[in-house]
Amino acid sequence: MRVTHVLATAIVLFSGAATAEIHRPLVWQARVAQDLPMNFTKIKQAFWTQSVSLWAVVERDKTDWLAATQIICSSFIASGKPPEAFIVVTFLDQHALPKRSQITTVYYKSGLTQPQ
């Protein structure tokens, strides 16, 4: 019991979530997470931590992820993203996991992107 409580607390602190519940993505969100690594080879994995928070695990090289965001976010529409859906995309360095070394975060809605 104590170990479970400590683990749940660690999950909340690590993810920044208000609760330790796992976000269950909507159908279009699951499709986005599945399609990203297939469509963009430098994206190794994508997952949702909250209804608006998409994390992309990427190669850390000279890629300008901010510049690539417009193309990446445009692909969400093909995966079924509704026009009104707001998404925060965070790019993580795959070699720094599990520390979640953030490369950049981008806020996206209806074709507009803005870096954090």
Q: Which of residues 31 and 15 earns the better pLDDT score? A: 31
- Residue 103 lies inside a defined structural domain of this protein: yes
What's the pLDDT score for residue 59? 86
- Residue 66 lies inside a defined structural domain of this protein: yes
What's the pLDDT score for residue 105? 64
What is the domain extent for residue 30? 23-115
- Cβ atoms of 52 and 87 within 8 Å: the answer is yes
What is the total count of domains within the chain?
A: 1
- Residue 35 lies inside a defined structural domain of this protein: yes
- Residue 1 lies inside a defined structural domain of this protein: no
CATH number for the domain spanning 69: value is 3.30.70
Tell me: pLDDT of 81 over 60.
yes
What proportion of the chain, given as a percentage, has pLDDT over 90?
A: 41
What's the pLDDT score for residue 92? 87
Least reliable range by pLDDT among 6-10, 48-52, 67-71: 6-10
- Residue 89 lies inside a defined structural domain of this protein: yes
What's the pLDDT score for residue 69? 87
- Residue 2 lies inside a defined structural domain of this protein: no
- Residue 12 lies inside a defined structural domain of this protein: no
- Residue 16 lies inside a defined structural domain of this protein: no
Q: Which residues pair with 46 in a beta bridge?
A: 56
- Cβ atoms of 8 and 20 within 8 Å: the answer is yes
pLDDT, one tens digit per residue, over 18-65 is 444 678 899 999 999 999 999 999 999 999 989 999 999 998 888 998
pLDDT classification of 102: cutoffs 50, 70, 90: low
What's the pLDDT score for residue 95? 80
